[in-house]
């Protein structure tokens, strides 16, 4: 019987690319392979997406403040291994 890890812990980095937002995931596991980025089509999509994966409203608001200043925002995330593999596929 295969035992699957229930939760993945890692870091999201988000940058604005024109009207879209590019989200990258980095696992806390140093041996984990780099994954492809996820693209959110607009601010509302990104806010809904972040809320769905458990980020608090104040953290989402701070992320958008950072992004509005033209920077990169970095957030901690914990979600299922299945969600990570679906959202951020391996190359």
Q: Residue 82's domain spans which residues?
A: 7-87
Average pLDDT over residues 50-71: 92
Pick the closest to residue 46 from 11, 80, 73, 84 (CA basis): 73
In a domain, 65, yes or no: yes
Which tens digits make up the pLDDT trace of 2-12? 445 578 899 99
In a domain, 2, yes or no: no
Residue 30 is classified by DSSP as: T
Which tens digits make up the pLDDT trace of 19-41? 899 999 999 988 989 999 999 99
Pick the closest to residue 63 from 16, 28, 18, 17 (CA basis): 16
Average pLDDT over residues 67-87: 90
In a domain, 1, yes or no: no
The helix/strand/coil state of 91 is coil
Residue 1 has pLDDT above 90, yes or no: no
**Tokens (6 digits) for 46:** 């990104």
Structural domains of the chain, count: 1
In a domain, 57, yes or no: yes
Beta bridge partners of 88: none
């Amino acid at each position: 019987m295969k035992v699957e890890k229930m939760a993945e812990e890692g870091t999201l980095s988000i940058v604005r690319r024109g009207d879209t937002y590019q989200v990258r995931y980095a696992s806390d596991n140093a041996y984990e392979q780099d994954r492809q980025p996820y693209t959110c089509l607009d601010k509302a999509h990104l806010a809904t997406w972040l809320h769905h994966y458990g980020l608090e409203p104040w953290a989402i608001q701070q992320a958008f403040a950072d992004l509005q200043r033209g920077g990169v925002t970095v957030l901690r995330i914990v979600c299922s291994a299945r969600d990570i593999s679906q959202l951020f596929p391996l190359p």
